[in-house]
Amino acid sequence: MLYREAGDFKKSYAEDSQTFPLKLDRYAYYTVLAIAFLVVPFVINDYWASAVLIPFLIWSIASLGLNILTGYCGQVSFGTGGFMAVGAYAAYKLMTSFPDLNIMIIVLISGGITAAVGVMFGLPSLRIKGFYLAVATLAAQFFLVWLFNKFEWFYNYSASGQISAPTRSMLGFEVTGPTASAGAKYLFCLVLVVLLAWVARNLTRGRIGRSWMAIRDMDIAAEIIGVNPLKTKLTAFAVSSFFIGVAGSLIFTVYLGAVDVGDTFGIQKSFLVLFMIIIGGLGSILGSFIGAAFLVLMPVLLKNVMVGIFHWPSDIASHLELVIIGFLIMITLILEPHGAAQLWRVTKQKLRLWPFPH
């Protein structure tokens, strides 16, 4: 009754092709943005920032990145962890070599460096497909982690091979380092998330996105209608790696502050991001966020419920957490194989007809 187009007249092409055609959606989106920018930074504390919201925002960027490559362009990648490591180490080398460089620029350049590395590892995708490409990207994962462990130049010859982020400020507020305030760190990540999600949304519904989807749906047909597979696949790898590199550099600079490459960017992180986009929904911007929320926030929520409210031993809670999350993944995928985003799409359709479905 309420959730429908009726009465919401579009008077221009721009209005007709907007991301949120429904008034209700639009208002909800603006409200969320307003709360995220104007309310949350002032009420957030260290726990909510470091354990809940910052990881959620950063993993959303990573999952957006992988969704561009896998969800939109159909190229399966297991190299996400390795590419994140490139972003983190690029940020470290830039931060220590150019102490005066603005942290926002550092994050964006490290994304750019990751994009270049991603294109390099994307080259085999022109010859190999499917599982074989997956194995090639798996090689990227192991090679990159090995590289950052092996060559001391990457970690400035420190005794332990760890990299630690020095303090850097943005507009007079510290955003990295231990003394940075929760609100500043959160806002820094939020700005990047909103910016990159906007870029992703507009790339995927434009010419480039359509060529990615054409390649995904049938590469031979796409080639025949004039889509250049070389350009298309490599742009997908570049854009996706850029997002993932930004996420990696944020994990290192803002979130953790110190990184041990095998521990933080191991193969399990590649799978984590892949699970995010599968659960959230392949080829969906909203799905990237839902997937990240499910896999990052759910464990924290479960832990707080089981340990904080029921006072169960934390190791039992930790075991149960794995069981419950595994169970929820199975349920989600059985009920809706196309992910949570599809669930939302179906709900929206039903809402438009409600309460008169016939």
Partner 1 sequence: MKFTKLAIIALAAVTAGSPVLAELEFPAIAYRTGPFGANGAEVADGYADYMTLLNERDGGIGGVRINAVECETAFNAEKTIECYEATKDSGALVYTPLSTSATYQLIPRVTADGIPLHTMGYGRTSAANGDVFRQVFNFPSNYWNGASVIVNHLLDINDGSLEGKNLALAYHNSAFGKEPILTLEALAEIHGFDLTLLPIDSPGQEQKSQWLQIRRERPDYVLLWGWGVMNQVAIQEAANVRFPMENLIGVWWSGSENDVTPSGMDSDGYKSVAFHNAGTDFPVFDDIQQYVTDAGLSAGTGENVGTVLYNRGLYQAALLAEAVKVAQEMHGVADITAAMMRDGLENLVVNEEIMGAIGLAGFGPSFEVSCENHGGPGLGAIQQWDATAQSWTMITDFEESDMSVIQPLIDADSAAYAAENNIASQCN
By CB under 8 A, tell whether 183 contacts partner 1.
Answer: no
Quick one: which of 264, 270, 284, 332 contacts partner 1 (CB under 8 A)?
Answer: 264
- Long-range CB pairs of 228-232 (<8 Å, 24+ gap) are 229/126, 230/126, 232/73, 232/208
Name the minimum Å distance from CB 191 to partner 1: 22
Per CB under 8 A, contacts with partner 1 among 84-103 are none
| Block residue for tokens 């696949």 | 233
CA 133 to CA 199: how far, in whole Å? Answer: 26
Interior angle at CA 114, CA 50 and CA 128, nearest 5: 120
Name the minimum Å distance from CB 53 to partner 1: 12
By CB under 8 A, tell whether 323 contacts partner 1.
Answer: no
By CB under 8 A, tell whether 336 contacts partner 1.
Answer: no
Q: Which of 155, 123, 121 is nearest to 141 (CA)?
A: 121
The stretch among 104-112, 197-205, 251-259, 332-340 that binds partner 1 (CB under 8 A) is: 251-259
Q: Which of 215, 248, 249 is nearest to 122 (CA)?
A: 215
Is the separation of the CB atoms in 194 and 33 below 8 Å? yes
By CB under 8 A, tell whether 169 contacts partner 1.
Answer: no
Site track for partner 1 across 140-159, x = CB under 8 A = ---------x---------x
By CB under 8 A, tell whether 342 contacts partner 1.
Answer: no
Angle between helices 80-97 and 267-280 (to 10 degrees): 120
Q: Is the peptide bond before 124 cis (omega within 30 degrees of 0)?
A: no
By CB under 8 A, tell whether 181 contacts partner 1.
Answer: no
Quick one: which of 1, 32, 218, 258 contacts partner 1 (CB under 8 A)?
Answer: 258
Two tokens, residue 358: 């016939």
Quick one: which of 17, 18, 19, 162 contacts partner 1 (CB under 8 A)?
Answer: 162
By CB under 8 A, tell whether 263 contacts partner 1.
Answer: yes
CA 114 to CA 116: how far, in whole Å? Answer: 5
Is the separation of the CB atoms in 251 and 201 below 8 Å? no
By CB under 8 A, tell whether 315 contacts partner 1.
Answer: yes
Quick one: which of 81, 87, 257, 287 contacts partner 1 (CB under 8 A)?
Answer: 257
How many residues touch partner 1 under the rule CB under 8 A: the total is 36
Q: Residues in the site for partner 1, rule: CB under 8 A? A: 46-47, 50-51, 55, 149, 159-162, 164, 166-167, 177-179, 255-258, 260, 262-264, 266, 300, 303, 307, 309, 311, 313-315, 317-319
